[in-house]
Amino acid sequence: MITAIFFIASLLALLGAVGVVLFRNPIASVLSLVLVMFALSVHFLLLSAQFLFAVQIIVYAGAVMVLFLFVIALLGPGRELASSRMPRQGWLAVVVAAGFAVLLASLLGNLTYHQPASTNLDLFGTVEKVAIGLFTTYLYPFELTSLILLVAAVGAIYLSREHRQ
Amino acid sequence: MTVVFTQVNASGALQIAGESLDTGWFLYLAAILFVIGAVGVMVRRNPLVILICIELMLNAVNLTLVTFSRQLQNLDGQLFALMALTVAAAEAVVGLGILVDIFRLREVEDVDELSELRG
Amino acid sequence: MNWLPLTILLLPAVGAALLAGRGWRWPRMLTVIVGPGVVWLSFLVVLYGYATDVNVDQSYWTWIKVDGFTLPFNLLLDHLSLFMCLMITGVGGLIVTYSVGYMGHEDDPSYARFFCYMDVFVTSMLLLVLAGNFIILIVGWAMVGLSSYLLIGFYYWRLSAVVAARKAFVMNVIGDIGMILGTFVIFFQFHATTYSDVFHQLGCSGDRLCLGTPDSPTLELAAFLFLVGAVAKSAQLPLHTWLPDAMEGPTPVSALIHAATMVTAGVYLVGRLHPLYDVAPYAHHAVAIIGALTALVAATIAIVQTDIKRVLAYSTMSQIGYMFLAVGVGAYAAAFFHLLAHAFFKALLFMSAGNVIHAMDDEQDMRRFGGLWRQLRGTSISFLIGSLALVGVIPLIGYFSKEFILGAVFSNPDPLSIWLWVVGFATAILTGFYTGRMWWIAFWGKPSPTRPVAVPQEAPAVMLWPVLVLAALSVAGGALQSKTAIGFGTTLVEDYLRPVVGAIAWPANPFDVLLALATMVLALVAFGWAYLMYVPRAERRAAFLDSLAEVAMASPHPWSSRVPWAQTLLEHKYYFDEIYDWAFVRPLDRLARWGDRGDRRVVDGSLTGVAGWVQGGGRELGLLESGYFRSYILVFVGGAVVAGLLVLWRASTA
């Protein structure tokens, strides 16, 4: 059953990803991405990342994507028309992506795994464990991350202020 | 909810709720999602959609991080993914802010129109 | 270190350099002082050299020094070169002074340009005669050709002038090639290039004619090659077609270059290289034959010319033929004396013709003159003196020089010489005829109804007094070498040149003097006959001789009806130009066009192709900075892929 869940979620993720790239309407793209995020949340759950599963849905799909939708609503959907400015871009993109795929495939093909650290696996991935990690070992990055958020907020306010000519 | 599992060797097999999944599957999925996202960034012309594709790439990376965190049984990967998620959110905010600012001046349907960096 | 030769050479060069650098901005007065002035200064230095009897082969610096071979820059100032320098600077000075007036109507830059070119020419000619080795000789030879080109094409806006200049230059280059190849042969044979070295090896010098050295094919080859050069420069058959066209240049140019100096360079060459020719009998005979034939052919063509300058041009060709004939039989002193005499009277003729042309508002067709005797007395007299000197009438210098040659040829023991003498004799009579024709048509009778100027003005003083000086020299010059032509008197020229070219090696025939006088008389008869043929009956005073001549209305060609084929043949100058055009010019033109097409397609095409690639590459590279976000992203990701693959590959092979 776990395997089945895995494959269904993977399929949904892939479909969503393809949808992101192919939909002309940006709203549809955003919604496809939301689907991808949900699917990935399931994967997180499978991988014993319970906290992340929740955070992904609440923060990422629930806040960031909603932000995107708001901006699209603000700016208007805008359909893409065929462009003649860079006609070769499409083909070159495929070529480069193929190269990329080859690179990744060759990397993934020769994987040897390290011996896992033998830690206490009882509470792996729980809020408790995450909190211990965040506030002790990784306190410094945690504080910096909050600083980044502050900067982003200030930046967003500044960028979207009324410009007096 | 806790999932009880046992790990025996460095074989890449993940024991999840009694069944065995291979690490590699997750990694391949993440790689495919990443490549799709990259193609989207290169091909799409609507600036908003480009930002969305970037988010997709970031998500794929997160999946890879969490996968390895599980395989190595080291929580650092999840913490990293958490940070990355946060930074991704911040970056999306700033990017959208810039876009809104540009849109005040003119209607940008095609990112190729923004070619002031020419030369 | 004797600075005399270098001074003689460099004075006109300084003048040329000054005029080239600054002359076009100078006031005219300054150009007038510098242009002729440097030539006269050089003349004074030459006079000084004559007075102090200088005889020096001075090397000034070593030009080339290679293992086993040294080439100095040496100038040879012996009696022969001094003789030539006297003539070049003296007659040259007179002509350049004359041109101060003749070219007066040019604007200032052209005026300065003219004198600059003239000074360049004088320098080149001096270099040619002062050269002490074959290489310097060739340098001077080529520079003279260049000066000729510049001066013939002086009126560069005229197509005919430019074409004539090019024709002259191309034919001169043919001669240059002969000179260069000849020098190669000389070097190959003797491994030396200075005159002193080569002549020393030939085993003769000065007054010892080298009859002892055996002949060899190499020496003959060298002699023939130099003959090509001489023939081209002196406008002898078959490389003569450039000289009549060269009359496109201003009249002083024709006087200086194409009468007095440049065209005599070939004679000088054979004279200077006489040690070579003395031991190469085939080439030596060829010189004489070419000379005699040219003299005759040119005289026949001169009979039908209507442009006064062209008559003089063909006359020049003919007289130089005489000089070639003289050096060809070994009578070097005779040739050089005639060279000097010819310089005097031909320059005189050209300058007088220039005065006439000037007075006739630049008209050169003789048929439109007529009756100038009454109106331009001074010019007419000087022209008459020149004409009589050309015909060879006692006591003018032309008689003494021409009869010196003819006498030497006649008394030459070589069996060929008597035939050559016959040709020379016939030419002398023809000379009388065409000269007479020229004189009568242009100066006698009633003014032509088509005359451009009804009342011509005599030339200004600056144009008259050089003419008068030359006229005086033509009259008095015979005193220099009278013995050989009339049996008594002086042998100054012969004596002066003996140390270099030797004496005439055969005894004079006792009939020489008689023959000389007879030639003169017959030539005068021809002169008179021309009167009968060309001055119409209505204008003649001697009515009883009418029955001997065709009567026509001032027609210059009364034979036309009797021998039309001869008329056409002569008018077309024996079709030399047409033959050359068909045989050489057209094929070369086609070759040049083919080469041009190939050049444009292949050479230019490949260059344009490369440029095209560079441009295309540049355009492609420009995409890197197109300003398009998507290109940047593409390159970004592509670069990352490449880098990743590289690292992988490295890791796998490490």
Give the amino acid at C335: A
Cβ separation of C630 and B115 shorter than 8 Å?
A: no
Cβ separation of A86 and C631 shorter than 8 Å?
A: yes
- Number of Cβ within a 10 Å radius of residue A110: 10
**How many Å lie between the alpha carbon of A61 and the closest alpha carbon of chain B?**
10
How far is it, in rounded angstroms, from Cα C509 to Cα C523? 21
Answer for the pair C389, C471: CB distance below 8 angstroms, yes or no. no
How far is it, in rounded angstroms, from Cα C239 to Cα C224? 14
Cβ separation of A117 and B86 shorter than 8 Å?
A: no
pLDDT category of residue C537 using cuts at 50, 70 and 90: low
Cβ separation of B42 and C629 shorter than 8 Å?
A: no
Kindly identify which residue of chain C lies nearest to residue B54, measuring between CA atoms: C633
- Residue among B38, B112, B117 minimizing CB distance to C630: B112
**How many Å lie between the alpha carbon of A73 and the closest alpha carbon of chain B?**
11
Q: Average pLDDT of chain C?
A: 83
Range among A58-72, C200-214, C519-533 with highest mean pLDDT value: A58-72
pLDDT block averages, 10 residues each, chain A of length 165: 92 96 91 96 93 94 93 79 67 87 83 72 83 92 94 89 71
Q: How large a percentage of chain C has pLDDT more than 90?
A: 26
What's residue B8's pLDDT?
Answer: 43
pLDDT digits (tens, 9 = 90+) for C576-631: 888 887 888 888 888 888 888 888 888 888 888 888 888 888 877 776 677 777 88
Residue C250 has pLDDT above 60, yes or no: yes
Lowest mean pLDDT of B61-65, B107-111, C642-646, name the range: B107-111
- Report the neighbours of C using a cutoff of 3 or more CB pairs below 8 angstroms: A, B
How far is residue C646 from each of residues A97, C269, C497, C624, C651, measured CA to CA in Å? 16, 78, 91, 22, 8
pLDDT greater at residue C199 or residue B108: C199
How far is it, in rounded angstroms, from Cα C110 to Cα C150? 12
What's the mean pLDDT in B97-117? Answer: 77
Which residues does residue C133 pair with via DSSP β-bridges, in sequence order? C194
**Burial of C307: CB neighbours in 10 Å, binned 0-12, 13-18, 19+:** middle
What's residue C518's pLDDT?
Answer: 82
Cα atoms found within 13 Å of the Cα of residue C27, Cβ hemisphere only: 2
Residue C446 has pLDDT above 50, yes or no: yes
What's the mean pLDDT in C80-101? Answer: 91
What's residue A43's pLDDT?
Answer: 95
- Number of Cβ within a 10 Å radius of residue C592: 11
What's the mean pLDDT in C416-437? Answer: 90
Mutating which of C630, C647, C649 best tests the A interface, going by the most A Cβ atoms within 10 A?
A: C630
Residue C538 has pLDDT above 60, yes or no: no
Q: How many CB pairs under 8 A join A and C?
A: 30
Answer for the pair C279, C214: CB distance below 8 angstroms, yes or no. yes
Residue B94 has pLDDT above 90, yes or no: yes
SS3 of C327-376: HHHCCHHHHHHHHHHHHHHHHHHHHHHHHHHHHCCCCCEHHHCCCHHHHC
How far is it, in rounded angstroms, from Cα C389 to Cα C387? 5
The tokens describing C216, both together, are 């060899």
Residue with tokens 């001055």: C535
Cβ separation of A115 and B104 shorter than 8 Å?
A: no
Query: Which residues, 6+ apart, have CB-to-CB distance to C21 below 8 Å?
Result: none
How far is it, in rounded angstroms, from Cα C42 to Cα C57? 19
- With beta carbons under 8 A apart, name residues in chain C contacting B118: 625-627
pLDDT digits (tens, 9 = 90+) for C351-405: 989 888 888 877 788 777 877 887 888 888 889 999 999 988 888 888 888 888 8
How far is it, in rounded angstroms, from Cα A63 to Cα A152? 15
What's the mean pLDDT in C70-84? Answer: 89
SS3 of C482-502: CHHHHCCCCCHHHHHHHHHHC
- Number of Cβ within a 10 Å radius of residue B13: 16
What's residue A164's pLDDT?
Answer: 66
How far is it, in rounded angstroms, from Cα C500 to Cα C162? 40
What's residue C494's pLDDT?
Answer: 78
What's residue C169's pLDDT?
Answer: 93
pLDDT digits (tens, 9 = 90+) for C546-567: 433 433 333 445 555 556 677 7
- With beta carbons under 8 A apart, name residues in chain C contacting A100: 637, 640-641
End-to-end CA distance of chain A: 63
C402-414: string of b/e by CB count within 10 Å (b at 16+)?
A: bbbbbbbbbbbeb
Closest to C500 measured CA to CA, from C51, C87, C46, C81: C81
- Number of Cβ within a 10 Å radius of residue C187: 16
What's residue C543's pLDDT?
Answer: 42
Lowest mean pLDDT of A42-46, C82-86, C489-493, name the range: C489-493
- Number of Cβ within a 10 Å radius of residue C73: 18
Residue C124 has pLDDT above 90, yes or no: yes
What's the mean pLDDT in C536-544? Answer: 51
What's residue A154's pLDDT?
Answer: 93
Answer for the pair C372, C456: CB distance below 8 angstroms, yes or no. yes
In B99-118, the residues whose Cβ lies within 8 Å of chain A are: 99-101, 103-104, 107, 109-110, 112
What's the mean pLDDT in C480-504? Answer: 75
Closest to C182 measured CA to CA, from C228, C146, C142: C228
- Residue among A85, A86, A96 minimizing CB distance to C641: A96
pLDDT greater at residue A10 or residue C452: A10
What's residue C27's pLDDT?
Answer: 78
pLDDT category of residue C412 using cuts at 50, 70 and 90: confident
Lowest mean pLDDT of B2-11, C408-417, C618-627, name the range: B2-11
Lowest mean pLDDT of C3-7, C134-138, C505-509, name the range: C505-509
Q: What are phi and psi of C62, to 5 degrees?
A: -90, 120
- With beta carbons under 8 A apart, name residues in chain C contacting A102: 645
Closest to C35 measured CA to CA, from C51, C46, C22, C47: C22
C462-499: string of b/e by CB count within 10 Å (b at 16+)?
A: bbbebbbbbbebbbebbebbbbbbbeeeebebbebbbe
Peptide bond into C238 cis (omega under 30): yes
How far is it, in rounded angstroms, from Cα C247 to Cα C163? 12
Mutating which of B35, B41, B109 best tests the C interface, going by the most C Cβ atoms within 10 A?
A: B41
pLDDT digits (tens, 9 = 90+) for C293-329: 999 999 988 888 888 898 999 999 999 999 999 999 9
Answer for the pair C7, C89: CB distance below 8 angstroms, yes or no. no
Q: What are phi and psi of C627, to 5 degrees?
A: 90, -5
What's residue C350's pLDDT?
Answer: 92
What's residue C552's pLDDT?
Answer: 35
Strands C56-66 and B13-16: unpaired
pLDDT digits (tens, 9 = 90+) for C251-302: 889 888 877 788 889 999 999 998 888 888 889 999 999 999 999 999 988 8
Mutating which of A85, A100, A107, A110 best tests the C interface, going by the most C Cβ atoms within 10 A?
A: A100
Query: In sequence order, what DSSP letters do the residues of C151-166 get, joined into one string?
Result: HHTTSTT-HHHHHHHH
Give the amino acid at C353: A
Strands B13-16 and B19-22: antiparallel
Q: How many CB pairs under 8 A join A and B?
A: 251
3-state class of C284 per DSSP?
Answer: helix
- B86 in reach of chain A (CB within 8 A): yes
- With beta carbons under 8 A apart, name residues in chain B contacting C629: 111-112, 114-115
Q: What are phi and psi of C594, to 5 degrees?
A: -65, -45
**How many Å lie between the alpha carbon of C605 and the closest alpha carbon of chain A?**
30
C-alpha B39 chain-centroid distance: 14
pLDDT category of residue C4 using cuts at 50, 70 and 90: confident
Closest to C532 measured CA to CA, from C518, C519, C545: C545
How far is residue A25 from each of residues A61, A63, A76, B3, measured CA to CA in Å? 19, 20, 10, 40
What's residue C545's pLDDT?
Answer: 42
